[in-house]
Structure 1
């Protein structure tokens, strides 16, 4: 049976939970699109996150990889289009590092695109009633660091891979007045569908990026 690698992050920025890891744990061991889901937690630490990712890629041997991260303030499942070759941290990571304008891969291109069928995934999620969009920026913190590193490592392999940002959980949003959130069961069900679509559908051509 093939394997799907699903990564989530440890909590960061003063939070006690990270919804990306909560949903990854919930899907660990499921069979989706005839593939076994293996969830791996990544540290919210520059450099170390990619070392942990390297280990997971080697051990899991995935046919598809979806990395997931928390984006407080976003209101939907955001399928990221592009990862850029820069670390530029607004806050320190969990090891206290705060790189500014540093390349992720000195020999790498300026950017990589997702190799997931992101527009088709967004369309399928919306058809099922889940809030979703194509995002044009993954930021410049550890999420983008992992997204770029993932695409750099899997370039030319034919393995579908990419990144998805998700909102806070309701308990987190309660500590951030006005911040949107989605309950964990919704995030889990939507991610299950996103993985199914990511493994089985082909990309569609729709203008406007956001499918508006």
Structure 2
């Protein structure tokens, strides 16, 4: 089955003292590819509140994608984490790359309390497990910039194109990052790329 509408896949710049971010390392592997008739566009978002959401919103309005797949880094996780919910909250544990560290603030005044992913989270989870890739369903995308872009994407698409699907996936550290964190959980880049390939093909095959 062909999508016709383009796919938008996003990753982030490094943050928190890191020099790489697996989300962009993975996302750029799909840039300008065509999959089952759908052209894939990749965007690197700044890890900055406000800026990331604005760039993503402009890209959605320009590209009119049928699918928005957002990727981010979750260094304390050992599995591919498919997020279910984005909440209307900015509450940063660390400063973003512009030094901003909002606390207990809404992302959008008078906006909905939360948006659910419009991806088939359980099905994607099962597809990854069937391929023997460690994966989990995660309740929330947190309250940092990852959550902010997921919330904004779903908010924009709710008005722009209710048929378009969007969701967020958190990725573990890469092995070279984990070494610096006393061997925190990690996953090879090749496995992370394979996981997102499965996610995209599962969505397009529906």
Task: Name the TM tier (shorter chain).
Answer: over 0.9
- 1:168 alignment partner in structure 2: 173
For structure 2, list consecutive stretches of 5 or more residues without a partner in the other structure.
none
Normalising by structure 1, report the TM-score: 0.92
Secondary structure at the aligned position of 2:110 is classed as coil
Unaligned runs of 5+ in 1: 202-212
Aligned length: 201
Q: Distance in 2 between matches of 1:200 and 1:116?
A: 13
1:158 CA drift (Å): 1.4
Superposition misfits of 4+ residues, deviation over 4 angstroms: none
In structure 2, what is the equivalent of residue 125 of structure 1? 128
Shift of 1:192: 1.0
What do the CA deviations read for 1:159-186 (whole angstroms, capped 9, x no partner)?
1101000000000001011311111111
Alpha-carbon shift at residue 191 of structure 1 (Å): 0.3
Q: TM-score, length-normalised on structure 2?
A: 0.94
Distance 1:33 1:69 in 2: 25
Match of 1:208 in 2: none
**SS at 2:6 equivalent:** strand
State the distance in 1 between where 2:59 and 2:116 align. 21
1:99-152 deviation digits (Å, cap 9, x = unpaired): 011101112111110000110011011111111111012111000111111111
- RMSD after superposition: 1.1
1:45-194 to 2 correspondences below 5 Å:
45-155=48-158, 157-194=162-199
